[in-house]
Amino acid sequence: MNAEHSASLRMIAESAADAAASFGGPARARRVHEGGPAWEPATWKALAQLGWLAIAVPESAGGLQLGAPALCVVAEEGGRALLAPPLTMGMAAAAVLAEAGEVAVPTLQALIEGLAHVVLVDAAESADATVAAHLVPDGDAAAHWLVACGLGHEFSARLLDPGAPGVALTVRHAVDGSRLADLHVGRATWNDAPQVLSGIAGEAAWRHGRHLAWLGDAAYLCGLMDAALALALDYLRLRRQFGVPIGSFQALQHRAAACHVDVTATRALVHEAARATSTGKEGWAAAAAVHRAGTAALRVTKEVVQFHGAIGFADEHDAGLYLRRAMTIGARHAGTALAALQSR
């Protein structure tokens, strides 16, 4: 990576940090945990106006064409501020729709303008009675489901409206208050839905989008655990026992150092994986990054709760917000990413 590109990414990160702090933060995450909306249309539109949802979309399709490294630095700042989980999925979905045909143009435009949200769902080999648990925004009318099934020449991805006849949506809540949904769609409804990707080329575009989603969530988790560790380090400097800060205790220093290594090593892997995009290593690198990030984020955020002692376990303390969000995001791709690694 040349110096000019590095400087550009730093500028993007600084801008994203300011915006994320304005639209996110522990207070908003707490409102979600307590039952408030995880997805606010006004915030979604504001993020779209910053160009975040078009960051991986080619210029020819109305995007910024900044690529996976830029997507990752934005996602990392989103995680640092605990922004609503659909963020990374929206960025990846826009990249997929940009590779689709004319039928997808209105949906892509609505997405990058912040007027809609698109959820990517892999239904494996059959679309009959699809059951796909996924994070979704609040307000079903604002969401579209891009569902893929089949392999190779039999691959097909279709846009489904959750409000259409023959589509049933069962919603529940994740541990952080985000909404999860099971989508049920019958064969007739699937056949009538507009097809936006097909065949080998369509499957390649779909896989690229899935890899971007993995990278985005991995970067999000990097920012999340970095912010959680900073919260704990502040507490270790402040809390005193036996007349000294507890951060001076060697046992806690060793544990904090291990957390720092987790954060730093995971971030390095994520950005290395982002640079592997559009190469033969793209899928494996993205899977490795999200698998590592999910494991590390759980380890770090659990330690952060422990560092705070009894108060860290209290629902009123912010430490638990990071752990719950790490659990939600880390579980999103756990099965598919691990399967990709094991099949290599």
Q: 30-39: per-residue pLDDT in tens?
A: 999 998 887 7
The angle subtended at Cα 292 by Cα 34 and Cα 237, nearest 5°, is 60
- pLDDT, tens digit, 9 for 90 and up, residues 292-323: 999 999 999 999 999 999 999 999 999 999 99
Q: How does residue 266 score in pLDDT terms, banded at 50, 70 and 90?
A: very high
pLDDT exceeds cutoff 60 at 10: yes
When pLDDT is averaged across residues 156-162 and rounded to a whole number, the result is 88
> Domain 202-342, CATH 1.10.1740.10 — does that match?
no
pLDDT tens digits, residue range 164-195? 788 887 888 889 988 888 778 878 888 888 99
Q: Pick the residue with more confidence: 79 or 43?
A: 79
3-state secondary structure of 118: strand
pLDDT at 129 over 60: no
Q: Quick one: pLDDT at residue 341?
A: 78
Residue whose entry in the numeric block shows the structure tokens 């925004």: 137
Contacts of 228 (CB under 8 A, 6+ apart): 300, 301, 304, 319, 322, 323, 326
Task: For residue 254, name the pLDDT band (cuts at 50, 70, 90).
Answer: very high
The mean-pLDDT minimum among 127-131, 270-274, 287-291 falls in: 127-131
- Report whether 257 contacts 314 (CB < 8 A): no
Q: Say what the pLDDT of residue 170 is.
A: 82
Model confidence at 279: pLDDT above 90: yes
| pLDDT given at position 250 | 96
Q: Percent of the chain, pLDDT > 90?
A: 67
Output b/e per residue, 170-180; b: 16+ Cβ within 10 A: eeeebebbbbb
- What is the chain's mean pLDDT, rounded? 89
* pLDDT of res. 140: 47
Reading the block at residue 338, the tokens are: 């691990």
